[in-house]
């Protein structure tokens, strides 16, 4: 929930900082909102949201119960979806469904002989050439 609130807050700040469309500017006198004003307005809104539960305790209690119920429903729905997908994909290769799965070759099918590196000998060393006088 906090993630959604943070995301909505930052998207609002970004939207306020974006330049205005020309059609909005031509309708009346230009109104410029500075970045500092937008940040102070956003911080005032956050401070007001923090004080909301002090002003309206019943609304916070009901809201928390509603969010708790919503979370439980989302968890139950996710569990049902997980169970459905698990059953569907677990039985996908069984003869009762009529769906045939192609068998993939296993991994690590190399023999020890395949894994050995062939010997290539030692590299030939070049003898140091005598330096020529300059």
pLDDT of the chain along its 134 residues, tens only?
A: 678 888 888 888 888 777 665 554 555 555 677 788 888 888 888 888 888 888 888 988 898 888 888 888 889 888 999 998 888 887 655 555 455 555 566 677 888 888 888 877 776 666 666 667 66
16 in Cβ contact with 38 (< 8 Å): yes
Residue positions counted in the chain: 134
User: 3-state SS of the chain?
Assistant: CHHHHHHHHHHHHHHHHCCCCHHHHHCCCCCCCCHHHHHHHHHHHHHHHHCHHHHCHHHHHHHHHHHHHHHHHHHHHHHHHHHHHHHHHHCCCCCCCCCCCCCCCCCCCCCHHHHCCCCCCCCCCCCCCCCCCC
């Amino acid at each position: 929930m906090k993630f959604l609130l943070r995301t909505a807050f930052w998207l609002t700040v970004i939207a306020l900082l974006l330049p205005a469309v020309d059609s909005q500017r031509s309708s009346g006198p230009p109104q410029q909102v500075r970045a500092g004003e937008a940040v102070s307005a956003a911080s005032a809104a956050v401070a007001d949201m923090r004080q909301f539960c002090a002003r309206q305790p019943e609304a916070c209690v009901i809201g928390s119960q509603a969010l708790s119920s919503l979370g439980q429903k989302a968890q139950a729905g996710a569990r049902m979806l997980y169970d459905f997908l698990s059953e569907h994909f677990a039985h996908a290769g069984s003869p009762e469904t009529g769906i045939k799965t192609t068998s993939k070759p296993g991994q690590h099918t190399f023999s020890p002989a395949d894994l050995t590196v062939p010997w290539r000998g030692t590299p030939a060393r070049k003898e140091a050439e005598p330096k020529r006088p300059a």
